[in-house]
Amino acid sequence: MIASRRVLATLYAVTETQTAFGGQARSWTSLATLWVSLSPISTNLVANPNQPPQQREQVRAQARDMAVVAVGQRLSIGPRHWRITAVDRGQPEPGLMVLDLESDAT
């Protein structure tokens, strides 16, 4: 579990391109770096068929508002990757935003 703290994060957006064989290649492109304050929300186990349960952690991040931030992007903090599941702009005050994040194994 992550305690409330301020850390430097890198924001990534997914880029999909078509391969020479007609498939899709997916990569992550760095968009920006930002300081975020993290607070834990919950930790639970997610069961998938034919796989052992995986621990899924949810955290809330607060940062300065950036127009480039959107749901579905990824924040990387050290070796961990977090999927952005919600963006609440102007909270808790104008110029700030609150992000709901979920641990991302990809």
Is the backbone peptide bond immediately before 49 cis, with ω within 30 degrees of 0? no
What the chain holds in terms of domains, given with CATH numbers, is: 5-103 (2.40.10.270)
Q: What is the pLDDT along the chain (106 residues), one digit of tens a residue?
A: 344 578 999 999 999 989 889 899 989 999 999 999 988 887 766 667 787 777 788 999 999 999 999 999 999 998 999 999 999 999 888 999 999 999 876 5
3-state SS assignment for residue 14:
strand
The pLDDT value given to residue 105:
60
The pLDDT value given to residue 101:
95
Single pTM value for the model? 0.79
Q: Which amino acid is at 69?
A: V
What whole-number distance in Å separates Cα of residue 45 and Cα of residue 55? 5
Per the CB < 8 A criterion, the answer to whether 63 and 96 are in contact is: yes
Integer angstrom CA distances of residue 17 from 21, 23, 30, 34, 98: 11, 8, 16, 27, 31
